[in-house]
Each structure stands twice: as structure tokens, then as C-alpha cells.
Amino acid sequence: MANPSPLENALEQFDLVAKKIDLDASIYNRLRKPEKCYIVYVPVRRDNGVVEVFEGFRVHHSTSRGPAKGGIRYHPDVSLEEVTALSMWMTWKCAVVNIPFGGAKGGVVCNPKSMSRCEIQGLTRRYTSELINVFGPHTDIPAPDVNTNPQIMAWIMDTYSIAVGYAEPGVVTGKPIDIGGSLGRNEATSRGCIFTIYNLLKRLNRNVEDQTVVVQGYGNVGYNAAQIIHDDGAKVIAVSDSRGGVYNPNGLDPRELLNYKQEHGSFKGFPGADEVTNEELLELDCNILIPAALENVITKDNADRIKADIIAEGANGPTTTEADEILFERGIYHIPDILANAGGVTVSYYEWVQGLERDFWCEDEVNRKLKNIMDRAFDCVWDISQREKVHMRMAAYILAVSRVARAKLWRGLYP
């Protein structure tokens, strides 16, 4: 039987917590569906003069607690179902760290690795113009996601600003610092993930210096997580990207790995390390596993072979519901995505606030505020998991769904 789709997984997770907290039926029915789904067709003139039309999406799951917030991804496998699932996860993520945003997500079906910079700029600007009445600092605030970056956010901001007639830094987050981005935003998802790991290590009376770490996915989140925990004394023994990975039980230097990957395009041939597949990497003997790639990589088929005793989800939706139960029964500590990778949206919130106020903070202040938010969220989730005797994903969902449900109850139904 095939693994569930991201949307099936998201809905199953929601159904489980709704039953656990006896969620009111009227609230359940509203939260199980997104508020709005936009489908746009984006014409782009390729460098050879041919106009190609790409399909794009933007989904708002819930805006009960604030403006819609969520990334935009460029990937061949983007679908409306996937974006809907991701928007739902964003709702819970914002709620679990208690910031005043609702969940959104967007994407365009394309292969940016086969497109020139000029073509990607054309795609971005036309996608933005198709959604010009959707995006806005008080309505829907995009951010980077898979295959998107600060440059793409800058093009979105510029397109929107031209349309409204003035510079509006609050319309996107994850922008370059020069046009209103926040210091600390680039590393925020990774830093938040590491903060949750350190909170768990503290409760288990373990030292970070004694931990071995495996990271699947070596984009922004995976690399920065590896670098931060390496600098704090842990031993990073394996990493991978979409083409495969490398393993050395004696440890690897994350910066050397990044330099090699940038020079050669992959980790293949990295000196002093053995090659491993992404599937093999997940099952390596280690203390901490950070899946920071795509969805559904830990499933019922491999959950019983995971050797890490701590999993911190840098990616969205890397673990299926069936795998959750297997890992819990095996006594593996599992920090779920809606908590572990919420550092990115938290500092996006800080960037949004700074942009609206035109008052920008130093990096130490951003990181200090991020730590306070992540520590408080971890404490809440941990306390629920211990009190209710449930795994941390269920605890995080109990916290998040309860907050969103209360917001809907207070606001009522219009008309």
C-alpha cells in the first residue's frame, strides 16, 4: 500500500487530535477545509522566445488568528493537495508558538534548476501579479520555501510595491537585509530547531558534546542546523542532499561539506567519507536525526529501523502518522515539525513587525526573542505530552488546535 499523501497525512493528524480534545463539530468542519484556494496560470517567456504557461497555487487554511502566512515553493511536484496540507501545517505551527498569523502556502509547478535567472524572475513577477489582490502586509505574507530564496522575495516585494505605488517591506519576509529583511532570519528555522533539541537534551540530562548527529537535506535548514550544532560541540557524522549523502563516524565539518557541494554539485567523492543513499542515511546509528528534506521520508516501512533516539523535524511532514506511533512505542523522542521548524515563521513575524514599524533590531535581540518563544513553546508541548501521556506531535497539536478553535469560537460565524 502506498504511503499517504501530505494532505491525507495532515487530515489524519488533525482527525486524531480533534477526537482527543472532543473538538466541537462546527469548528471541526471549518478547520478541516481551507478558507480559500487560488489557482493561477503563469505565462513566462523563455530565453528562446517561446512562451510557456506554468500552474501556480496559493492556499489560505485559516486567518482566524491573523493574516495568512506561509512560504512559496518552486518544484516539479508541487500540487494543490500538497500546498493545502502545508497551509494547514502552517496554521498549527503559528499557533503552537503563539504568533498572530494564520496558515498559508503557495507554489508553482516548475523545475527552477532548468531555468535561467531571467526566466525565474519573469515567473516570480507574473505569479505575484496574478495574486496582487491576495498578497498584502495585512492579508497574506509570503516567505521562502523549497527552491525560493531572498532574491525571489525581493522580486515579489518589488512587484507588489510598484502596484501599490510605494515600497512595502511588510508584504514578504525572508527578504535581503538591504530592503527590510531581518537579521537572523536566514538561520532562524535551523536555530529554532536546535533550541528545541537543547531543551530536550536538558530534560534528558544529556550534554550536546556527547551527541552524534545525522542530517538529511543540506539546503538552508539542514546546513545551518548542522553548522550550529557542530559549533556547539556535537559530532555531525552524516549529511545528504537530493543526490545522496556521505558518512564518517569520526565526524564531518559542515562548512567543508558545503564548500565541496558548491564546487562539485554534490557530495559524491567527498574525501574521507563513505557514500550513503538517503534511505540508508535515515537508518544510521546516531543520537539525533534531523530530517530536513521533503515529506514522507519516515514511514511505517522504515520506522522500526530508525536507530536515532531523538528526531527533530527540520522539514514539513517528514513522518507519516503510522510511523509516529511506531516511533512512540519504541521510546524515540520525536520533536514534530510544527514545533521544531517554527523558528523560521517566528523570525518572519519579527521581520514583519520590523517592516511595519520601520524599526530594525540587532541580531542578538532577534535571537534572544526567538529563544524565548521556542523555549516557551517547548515547555508547553512537553508539559502536555507528560500530562496526557502522548507523543510530542499529539501534544503540539492539542496546544495548536485548541488555540485556533478558541479564536474561531470568539470570532463566531459571519454572517
Active site residues: 105
One DSSP character per residue, 259-319 reads HHHHHHSSSTT-TT-EEE-HHHHHTSS-SEEEE-S-S--B-TTTGGG---SEEE--SSS-B
Within the chain, what is the greatest distance between any pair of CA atoms? 66
- The rounded distance, in Å, linking the Cα atoms of 104 and 242 is 26
Query: Do 348 and 143 touch, CB atoms closer than 8 A?
Result: yes
Torsions phi, psi of 269, nearest 5?
Answer: 85, 5
Query: Do 78 and 57 touch, CB atoms closer than 8 A?
Result: yes
Task: Please give the single-letter amino acid code of residue 58.
Answer: R
Query: Do 80 and 39 touch, CB atoms closer than 8 A?
Result: yes
* Sign of the dihedral defined by the CA atoms of residues 292, 293, 298, 301, in that order: negative
If one counts every other C-beta atom within 10 angstroms of the C-beta of residue 389, the result is 8
Which parts of 297-342 fold into alpha helices (H)? 321-329, 337-340
In the structure grid, which three cell numbers stand for residue 165, read together? 505605488
Query: Do 15 and 29 touch, CB atoms closer than 8 A?
Result: no
In the structure grid, which three cell numbers stand for residue 174, read together? 525572508
Q: With both helix axes pointing from N to C terminus, report the angle between 6-20 and 321-329 in degrees, rounded to the nearest 10.
A: 60
Query: Do 70 and 106 touch, CB atoms closer than 8 A?
Result: yes
If one counts every other C-beta atom within 10 angstroms of the C-beta of residue 251, the result is 13
Query: Do 160 and 154 touch, CB atoms closer than 8 A?
Result: no
